[in-house]
């Protein structure tokens, strides 16, 4: 099949939602640029963050989020370190801990909890969004065998490089025991090379399926990575085992790998990939799909790919290009929250309070039902990032049930919010609707929807009557349920 | 949801004593059921990850099968519990597929071997995409083949006409024709503790009043909840002693059987089962999946009883595995694999194959070749069991002739 056709077909996979939209899309009231930035670059903002963002404005908020080291999270991190001791353990310590406690799920539960808690509490919101992005790009299935242990250091490596360079991310990932195990490279040996890692490295991590490689390239890359394995008799870290490496000459994308090379073979492949235009295009496409539209505008993809090539894959530079682009500014309602973003943003905008571990268990249960637990996508391509995959009847029902349960305070013991503090001094129906819509949605309502909601809050009384405090509590909960369940809250 | 009244309990309470008027409400769309009554319910099972067809349905008379797979080959029939179960003088089932043997013998199940995509792709994601859109060589088609099939039928008011079982709707079923996604009957409802919950739901539905994908799927969810709540499906019991395997696949087949038995107008459904990417330690990975697949489909058939006469199940997978094993007791991505067809309208008890053999010259770049276009099987299915006369819109560009003799 001609390359152009194959590329077109691949792109169509991601164009599905846009092309399936019938005419007559209900236009919601547009968000302003700051609201769009907030909704796209975070898991929803707590009230203090929302106020800070409004004070800083678009550029100020963007620069602060692009420089997470300027945002203090030491309190959160020291609490996590105290509560979740496996977070800082080495692979060897994690394996020893699992054996000693006869509990191979301890590190699994602790990392998942830390992921939820960081997304929920951390002020470094764009950074946490990027951690999720790269975790998904280098997807491994957390529950699979020793990945329950290996994912913890793998996560640390991703966190170290999430705002750094793609080359560093790639080099770390190729040596990550989690990935070596997940895509079977730890058993890739000269006597019977196996292609799992090689193929997905090219197809998913770097060049893309139409990135210009052949089946022979896949086979040669598999040979290049023979002997890249896990030191199972020592520290459980990456080790190059020359005894099972293929030292014969190879070629990849027309470049020679001379005979006699050892670990240099794989490194040469990684170096070629990290600076290849097809890799730039794949990463740019995925970033633009993440932050701008399911159907990424080609002009912006090209611009971001150029930044990738000129900066050695610098993440910050690519993000700055995306958020400052005209394509971004014009992309309102092009992205729908995936389940994790929906759940986390509902909790953040309400300034929910946590107590005990029941809330985490319930969040976990909902995300399981919605099929987006952290690091649990069952294939190496990561969770899809298009609404056509995530939105259907059953997904709506689960999202609505979560919204109602949160608003009605039935989600979990130990998880609560105070309706009175959400609305400040507002006590008339229209004020309540306006304050709460801005606070929860970070966007304006259409007049017709606003009118319906004002009637709901008035509850049959004149809409300009003052509502007593007790009734107000109830009305705020009801209004919260409807707002969080409505389409407004599901676009980001 | 375990610590509160379950939705199923809630529906039971809500429906108690109300069955007769509810049955009356079905009359409203009996006309469309009559039109559909000549068609089978078509159930498509997608095995994601690429099933090793050679270890599922074994060409046990071919020495090359054993020499190319020294550590993972399934022993030929007659060697005890670990050995393959002969279907005929050429092919045998993996013993983990034992539940299929009785269905095969009863003439209800057939195997199609060396089937797959005619376009070579060894990428899971490309191959699944090509296969589900059934559009292999040209652009401009974005919807799935099953959705196009539904679009080709006469209009229907049945909300549950097309059902994607699971948390996401398969690509094959996605498109312009409306689809219900249903993960489980028990969880399919809206719970609110508010005294004004009906007003809240009504108001909520008004915020979904556009025609975008977001709006239309939201409105469909309201309609589907209302319809399911008054359907016998919420109380349906498993029948005829069927035992579904644990796990999501069994649960979804069980719920699908309940929907089909409840006369909701289901005409097509999809169910996924993943995990087939057996690069490493294949025997331990593959056999439990084969057991889950065959136990699940056998239970589905048992549960449906006489209703199975108007149900056809077809399985597919994006490609097979390489003919020879790799260095880690597994198999890398290949080409041809096996499909299973099951149902009242299947001419079972046969392995349908233009067998290419495993000889060097017959292999496709080291893999079992594809000699039957998977679309040819689906084409015969839609002609014989779906009443389709013109396939051009459903399988555009199809050059292969439909298979012949798989469906009555």
Residues B203, A456: C-beta atoms closer than 8 Å: yes
Give the pair of three-digit tokens for residue B138. Answer: 């040209």
Say whether residue B23 is in contact with chain A using an 8 A CB cutoff: no
> How far is the CA of A483 from the CAs of A309, A349, A456, B24, B202, in angstroms?
43, 12, 12, 37, 13
* Cα R_g (chain B), whole angstroms: 22
Asked if pLDDT for residue B186 goes beyond 90, the answer is yes
Distance CA A55, CA A38 (A): 13
**Above 80 in pLDDT, residue A375?**
yes
Chain A closest-CA separation from residue B40 CA (Å): 24
**Every domain of chain A and the residues it spans:** 183-274, 336-492
Q: Which residue, among B180, B221, B264, would best test binding to A if mutated, counting the most A CBs under 10 Å from its CB? A: B221
Candidate from A8, A203, A452 with C-beta closest to B139: A8
Distance from CA of B335 to the nearest CA of A (A): 13
Residue A16 scores a pLDDT above 70: no
How do residues B122-178 score in pLDDT, each as one tens digit?
999 889 989 999 987 545 677 899 999 999 999 998 999 999 999 999 999 998 899
B263 Cβ under 8 Å from any chain A Cβ: no
- A270 phi and psi, to 5 degrees? -65, -40
> Given CB atoms, is B328 within the 8 Å cutoff of chain A?
yes
Residues of B numbered 347-376 whose beta carbons fall under 8 angstroms of chain A's beta carbons: which are they?
365
How many Å separate Cα B281 from the centre of its chain? 26
Contact with chain A for residue B19, Cβ under 8 A: no
* 3-class SS of residue A356: coil
Taking the complete model, does pTM exceed 0.95, yes or no? no
Distance of CA B13 to the CA centre of its chain: 33
* Whether A143 contacts chain B with CB within 8 A: no
- A120, A348 contact by CB (below 8 A): yes
Q: What is the pLDDT of residues B11-26, one digit of tens each?
A: 333 333 332 222 223 2
More confident residue, A388 or B288: B288
pLDDT at A199 > cutoff 80: yes
pLDDT-derived band at B335 (thresholds 50, 70, 90) equals very high
Residue B193 has pLDDT above 60, yes or no: yes
* Residue B280, phi then psi, degrees to nearest 5: -140, 135
Closest alpha carbon to A98 in A148, A139, A58: A148
Are residues A26 and B200, on separate chains, in Cβ contact within 8 Å?
no
pLDDT of residue B141: 74
Is B139 within 8 Å of A365 when comparing Cβ atoms? no
Q: Tell me whether residues B174 and A15 touch, CB distance under 8 A.
A: no
A295-306 pLDDT, tens digit per residue, is: 999 999 999 999
Please report which confidence band the pLDDT of residue B82 belongs to, taking 50, 70 and 90 as the band edges.
very high
Calculated CA dihedral for residues A333, A337, A342, A346, nearest 10 degrees: -30
The alpha-carbon gap from A328 to the nearest alpha carbon of chain B, in Å, equals 21
B344 Cβ under 8 Å from any chain A Cβ: no
From CA B100, how far away is CA B92, in angstroms rounded? 11
CB–CB of B200 and A481 under 8 A?
yes
**Which residues, numbered 345 to 374 in chain A, qualify as contacts with chain B under a Cβ-Cβ cut-off of 8 Å?**
365, 369-371
Interchain pair A194, B1: CB under 8 A: no
Cβ of B142 under 8 Å from any chain A Cβ?
yes
A116-123 mean pLDDT: 96
Query: Minimal Cα distance from A192: which residue of B?
Result: B327
pLDDT tens-digit readout, B226-276: 999 999 999 999 999 999 999 999 999 999 999 999 999 999 999 999 999
What is the ipTM metric for this complex? 0.89
Q: Do A391 and B330 touch (CB under 8 A)?
A: no
Please state which of the ranges A268-277, B74-83, B93-102 shows the lowest mean pLDDT: B74-83
Residue B60 has pLDDT above 70, yes or no: yes
- DSSP codes, A131-165: HHHHHHHT---TTSTTHHHHHHHHHHHHHHHTTSB
Q: Judge: A482–B49 Cβ closer than 8 Å, yes or no.
A: no
Task: Measure CB to CB from residue A1 to each of B137, B210, B280 and give the nearest one.
Answer: B137
- pLDDT score, position B2: 31
Which of B123, B219, B334 to mutate to probe the A interface, most A CBs <10 Å?
B123
Binning pLDDT at 50, 70 and 90, where does residue A27 land?
A: low
Closest CA to A272 of A357, A170, A364: A170
> Which pLDDT belongs to residue B11?
36
Find the closest chain A residue to B127 by CA distance.
A10
Whether A194 and B328 lie within 8 Å, measured CB to CB: yes
Q: What's the average model confidence in pLDDT over B311-334?
A: 96
> Looking at residue B98, what is its pLDDT?
98
SS (H, E, C) chain B: CCCCCCHHHHHHHHHCCCHHHHHHHHHHHHHHHHHHCCCCEEEEEEEECCCCHHHHEECCCCHHHHHHCCCCCCCCCCCCCCCCEECCCCCEECHHHHHHHHHHHCCCEEEEEEEECCCCCCCHHHHHHHHHHCCCCCCCCCCCHHHHHHHHCCCCCCCCCEEEECCCCCHHHCCCCCCEEECCCCCCCCCCCCCCHHHHHHHHHHCCCCCCHHHHHHHHHHHHHHHHHCCHHHHCCCCCCCCCCCCHHHHHHHHHHHHHHCCCCCCEEEEEEECCCCCCCHHHHHHHHHHHHHHHHHHHHHHHHHHHHHEEEEEEECCCEECCCCCCCCCCECCCEEEEEEECCECCCCEECCCCCCCHHHCECCECCCCEEHHHHHHHHHHHCCCCCCCCCCCCCCCCCCCCCCEC
Contact B381, B141 (CB under 8 A): no
Residues forming beta bridges with residue B315, ordered by sequence position: B45
pLDDT digits over A212-239, tens only?
A: 999 999 999 999 999 999 999 999 999 9
Query: Is pLDDT at B35 greater than 80 in this prediction?
Result: no
pLDDT band at A40 (very low <50, low <70, confident <90, very high): very high
pLDDT number for residue B297 = 98
Q: Which residues of B touch A19 (CB under 8 A)?
A: 142
Please report the domains of chain B, with CATH numbers, ordered by start residue.
Answer: 28-189+196-384 (3.40.720)
When pLDDT is averaged across residues B102-129 and rounded to a whole number, the result is 94
**Across all residues in chain A, what is the average pLDDT?**
92
Q: What percentage of chain A exceeds 70 in pLDDT?
A: 95
CB < 8 Å from B in window 429-458 of A: 449, 452-453, 456
Which residue of chain A is at minimal alpha-carbon distance from B193? A408
Whether residue B330 and residue A184 make contact (CB cut-off 8 A), yes or no, is yes
Q: Which residues of B touch A26 (CB under 8 A)?
A: 209-212, 215
Confidence of residue B293 (pLDDT cuts 50, 70, 90): very high
DSSP character at residue A68: G
B3 touches chain A (CB under 8 A): no
Q: Does the CA dihedral B374-B375-B376-B382 come out positive or negative?
A: positive
Query: Which positions 5-44 of A are in contact with B (Cβ < 8 Å)?
Result: 5-6, 8-10, 12-13, 15-17, 19-27
pLDDT at B120: 84
Assess whether pLDDT exceeds 70 at residue A391.
yes
Interface contact flag, A26 B1, Cβ < 8 Å:
no
B129 in contact with A, Cβ within 8 Å: yes
Is the predicted pLDDT of residue A8 greater than 60, yes or no?
no
Q: For B343-367, what is the mean pLDDT?
A: 96
Q: Which of A21, A390, A449 minimises the CB distance to B207? A: A449
Find out whether A337 and A399 touch, Cβ atoms under 8 Å.
no
């Amino acid at each position: 099949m001609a390359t152009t056709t194959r590329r077109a077909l691949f792109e169509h996979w991601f164009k599905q939602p846009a092309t399936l939209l019938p005419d007559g899309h209900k236009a919601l009231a547009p968000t302003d640029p700051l609201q769009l930035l907030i909704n796209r670059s975070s898991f929803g903002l707590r009230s203090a963050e929302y106020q800070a963002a409004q004070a800083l404005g678009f550029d100020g908020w963007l620069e602060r989020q692009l420089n997470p080291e300027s945002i203090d999270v030491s309190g959160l991190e020291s609490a996590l370190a105290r509560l979740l001791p496996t977070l800082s353990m080495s692979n060897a310590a994690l394996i020893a801990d699992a054996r000693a406690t006869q509990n191979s799920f301890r590190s699994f539960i602790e990392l998942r909890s830390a992921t939820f808690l960081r997304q929920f509490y951390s002020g470094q919101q764009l950074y946490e969004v990027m951690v999720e992005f790269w975790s998904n790009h280098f997807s491994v299935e957390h529950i699979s065998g020793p990945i329950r242990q290996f994912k913890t250091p793998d996560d640390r490596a991703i966190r170290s490089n999430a705002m750094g360079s793609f080359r560093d991310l790639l080099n770390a990932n190729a040596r990550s025991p989690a990935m070596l195990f997940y895509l079977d490279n730890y058993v890739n040996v000269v006597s019977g090379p196996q292609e799992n890692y090689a193929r997905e490295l090219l197809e998913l991590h770097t060049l893309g399926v139409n990135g210009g490689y052949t089946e022979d390239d896949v086979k040669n890359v598999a040979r290049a990575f023979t002997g890249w394995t896990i030191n199972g008799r020592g520290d459980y870290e990456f080790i190059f085992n020359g005894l099972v490496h293929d030292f014969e000459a190879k070629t990849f994308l027309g470049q020679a790998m001379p005979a006699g090379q050892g670990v240099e073979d794989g490194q040469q492949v990684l170096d070629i990939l990290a600076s290849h235009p097809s890799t730039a295009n794949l990463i740019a496409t995925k970033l633009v799909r993440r932050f701008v539209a399911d159907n990424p505008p080609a002009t912006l993809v090209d611009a971001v790919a150029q930044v990738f090539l000129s900066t050695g894959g610098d993440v910050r530079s690519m993000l700055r290009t995306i958020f400052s682009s005209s394509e971004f500014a014009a992309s309102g309602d092009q992205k729908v929250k995936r389940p994790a973003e929906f759940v986390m943003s509902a909790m953040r905008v309400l300034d929910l309070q946590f107590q005990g571990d029941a809330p985490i268990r319930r969040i976990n249960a909902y995300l399981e039902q919605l099929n987006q637990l952290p690091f649990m996508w069952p294939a190496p391509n990561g969770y899809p990032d298009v609404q056509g995959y995530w939105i259907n009847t059953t997904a709506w029902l689960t999202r609505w049930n979560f919204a109602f349960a949160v608003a009605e305070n039935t989600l979990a013991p130990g998880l609560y919010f105070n309706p009175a503090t959400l609305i400040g001094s507002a006590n008339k129906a229209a004020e309540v609707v306006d304050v709460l819509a801005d606070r929860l949605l970070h966007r304006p309502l259409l007049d017709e929807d606003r009118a319906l909601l004002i009637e709901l809050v008035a509850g049959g009384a004149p809409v300009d009557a003052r509502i007593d405090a007790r009734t107000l509590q109830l009305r705020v909960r009801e209004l919260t349920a409807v707002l969080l369940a409505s389409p407004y809250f599901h676009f980001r | 949801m375990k610590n509160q009244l379950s939705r199923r309990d809630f529906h039971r309470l809500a429906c108690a004593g109300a069955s007769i008027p509810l049955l009356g409400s079905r009359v409203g769309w009996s006309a469309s059921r009559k039109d559909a009554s000549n068609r089978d319910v078509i159930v498509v099972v997608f095995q994601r990850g690429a099933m090793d067809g050679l270890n599922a349905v074994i060409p046990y008379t071919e020495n090359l099968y054993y020499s190319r797979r020294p550590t993972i080959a399934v022993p030929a029939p007659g060697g005890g519990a670990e050995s393959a179960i002969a279907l005929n003088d050429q092919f045998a089932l993996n013993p983990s597929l034992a539940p299929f043997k009785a269905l095969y013998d009863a003439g209800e199940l057939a195997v199609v071997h060396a089937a797959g995509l005619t376009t070579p792709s060894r990428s899971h994601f490309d191959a699944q995409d090509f296969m589900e859109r059934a559009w292999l060589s040209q652009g401009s088609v974005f919807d799935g083949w099953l959705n196009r099939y539904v679009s080709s039928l006469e209009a229907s008011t049945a909300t549950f006409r097309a059902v994607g079982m699971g948390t996401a709707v398969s690509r094959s079923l996605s498109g312009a024709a409306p689809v219900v996604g249903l993960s489980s009957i028990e969880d399919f409802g809206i719970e609110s503790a508010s005294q004004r919950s009906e007003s809240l739901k009504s108001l909520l539905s008004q915020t979904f009043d556009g025609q975008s994908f977001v709006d239309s799927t939201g409105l469909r969810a309201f309609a589907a909840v209302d319809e399911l709540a008054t359907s016998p499906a919420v109380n349906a019991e498993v029948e005829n002693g069927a035992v579904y395997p644990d796990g999501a696949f069994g649960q979804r087949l069980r719920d699908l059987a309940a929907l089909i038995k409840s006369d909701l107008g289901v005409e097509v459904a999809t169910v996924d089962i993943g995990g087939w990417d057996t690069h490493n330690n294949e025997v331990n990975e593959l056999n439990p999946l084969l057991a889950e697949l065959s136990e699940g489909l056998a239970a589905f058939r048992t549960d449906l009883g006489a209703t199975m006469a108007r149900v056809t199940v077809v399985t597919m997978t994006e490609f097979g595995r390489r003919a020879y094993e790799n260095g880690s007791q597994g198999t890398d991505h290949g080409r041809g694999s096996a499909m299973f067809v099951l149902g009242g309208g299947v001419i079972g008890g046969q392995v349908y194959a233009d067998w290419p053999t495993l000889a060097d010259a017959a292999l496709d770049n080291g893999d079992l070749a594809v000699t039957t276009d998977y679309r040819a099987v689906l084409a015969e299915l839609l002609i014989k069991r779906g009443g389709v006369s013109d396939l051009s819109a459903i399988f555009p560009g199809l050059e292969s002739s439909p298979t012949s003799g798989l469906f009555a």
